[in-house]
Amino acid sequence: MQENDISTVENIELELLLQAVYLQYGYDFRNYSRAHVKRRVKHRLVQEGMKSISELQNQILHDKTAFDRLVRDLSINVTEMFRNPAFYKSVREKVIPILKTYPYLKIWHAGCATGEEVFSFAIMLKEEGLLERTQIYATDFNPYIIKKARNGIFPIRYIKEYTANYQKAGGLESFSDYYHANDELVIFDKNLSKNMVFAEHNLVTDSVFAEVNMIVCRNVLIYFNNNLQNKVLHLFHKSLVVGGFLALGTKESLMFSDEEKKYKVIDPKQKIFKKKYE
């Protein structure tokens, strides 16, 4: 077969695999960025020592553990504390003052990965005197990382970078006051996670999670195609109180979405939006 024919067959196999995964396990990757999914599936092929996607499909249909490994490949969990410090700075300056006017708050981190973002927010909320009256929901569709996120324990090798991020983000204290460290790990203060609830939630297939004052969903929508982005943005709109805030990743936007007109732009560069009164 010619290389280009191989590629056509491969696309058919991929389509069938995603269909099979959806029918058998309920996880719907059919509207994820196809280039991304293809790369990750091929990566899994190599790891499993297989030659074709059809072969992989057969295994995944009959063996749940093989499916679990695929989910881990498709869910990109790369994250860090105070990722994009300028974003946190902007939240501190433009969002927190308004949140302070509420007696009680709910914040939802959708696609929280291993929790670094959630603990970063908790630290900021604590410094602003808001942590005690904030209920924090943190969700992801990947059950393995939800379990990890809950613990607030992170590898120590990135702590220098995180400390620098924290300072650039406008941190007010000494970062090391928030954790205990041993040779390998940093363990964050239990008080930070008192009001956190971690739960499995799939943005594609599950419905509204809770009504909240702020949604933080960073670097998740980039993996979805336009239709799916619209669907999830619609879900977010339904979940936000009027005047609530939506924070997306630095390279994400409402620009190509029908939801754009329903929000006021708070910070165009840091992608912070506020739900309008209808």
Partner 1 sequence: MNKRKDIKAIVIGASAGGLYALKKLLPALPASFPCPVLVVQHLSPHSDNYMVRMLDELSPLVVKEADEKEPVIPGTVYVAPPDYHLLVEEDFTLSLSVEEKVNYSRPAIDVLFETAADAYGRHLMGIILTGANADGANGLLAVKKRGGFTIVQQPEDAESQAMPKAAIELVKPHKIFTLDEIITFLSKGDFCSK
Ligand X SMILES: C[S@@+](CC[C@H](N)C(=O)[O-])C[C@H]1O[C@@H](n2cnc3c(N)ncnc32)[C@H](O)[C@@H]1O
Site for ligand X in 166-195 (CB under 6 A): none
DSSP β-ladder status, 263-267 and 105-110:
unpaired
Site for partner 1 in 204-223 (CB under 8 A): 219, 222-223
Residue 77 interacts with ligand X (CB under 6 A)?
yes
Residue 204 binding result from ligand X, partner 1, none, given CB thresholds of 5 to 8 Å by partner type: ligand X
Residue 39 binding result from partner 1, ligand X, none, given CB thresholds of 5 to 8 Å by partner type: partner 1
Q: How many CA atoms lie within 13 A of 152 on its CB side?
A: 23
Nearest residue to 248 (alpha-carbon basis) of 48, 256, 126, 7: 256
Select 164 or 208, whichever has its Cβ closest to partner 1. 164
Residue 151 interacts with partner 1 (CB under 8 A)?
no
- From edge to edge, which strands make up the β-sheet containing 185-188? 153-155, 185-188, 179-181
Residue 174 binding result from partner 1, ligand X, none, given CB thresholds of 5 to 8 Å by partner type: none
Q: Which string of x and - marks every residue 24-43 that binds partner 1 (by CB under 8 A)?
A: ---------xxxx-xxx---
Residue 251 binding result from partner 1, ligand X, none, given CB thresholds of 5 to 8 Å by partner type: partner 1
Q: Which string of x and - marks every residue 159-178 that binds partner 1 (by CB under 8 A)?
A: --------------------
Residue 252 binding result from partner 1, ligand X, none, given CB thresholds of 5 to 8 Å by partner type: partner 1
Residue 75 binding result from ligand X, partner 1, none, given CB thresholds of 5 to 8 Å by partner type: ligand X
Site for partner 1 in 37-96 (CB under 8 A): 38-40, 76, 78
Minimum distance of ligand X from residue 237's CB (angstroms): 17
What DSSP string runs through the chain?
--HHHHHHHHHHHHHHHHHHHHHHH----TTB-HHHHHHHHHHHHHHHT-S-HHHHHHHHHH-HHHHHHHHHHHS-----TTSSHHHHHHIIIIIHHHHTT-SSEEEEEES-TTSHHHHHHHHHHHHTT-GGGEEEEEEES-HHHHHHHHHTEEEGGGHHHHHHHHHHTT--S-GGGGEEE-SSEEEE-GGGGTTEEEEE--TTTS-----EEEEEE-SSGGGB-HHHHHHHHHHHHHHEEEEEEEEE-TT--STTSTTGGGEEEEETTTTEEEEPP-
Select 133 or 234, whichever has its Cβ closest to partner 1. 234
Residue 140 interacts with ligand X (CB under 6 A)?
yes
Query: Which residues form the interface with ligand X (CB under 6 A)?
Result: 75-79, 83, 111-113, 117, 140-142, 145, 202-204, 218-220, 223, 249
Query: Applying CB under 8 A, which residues contact partner 1?
Result: 3-4, 7, 11, 33-36, 38-40, 76, 78, 219, 222-223, 225-226, 229, 251-253, 255-256
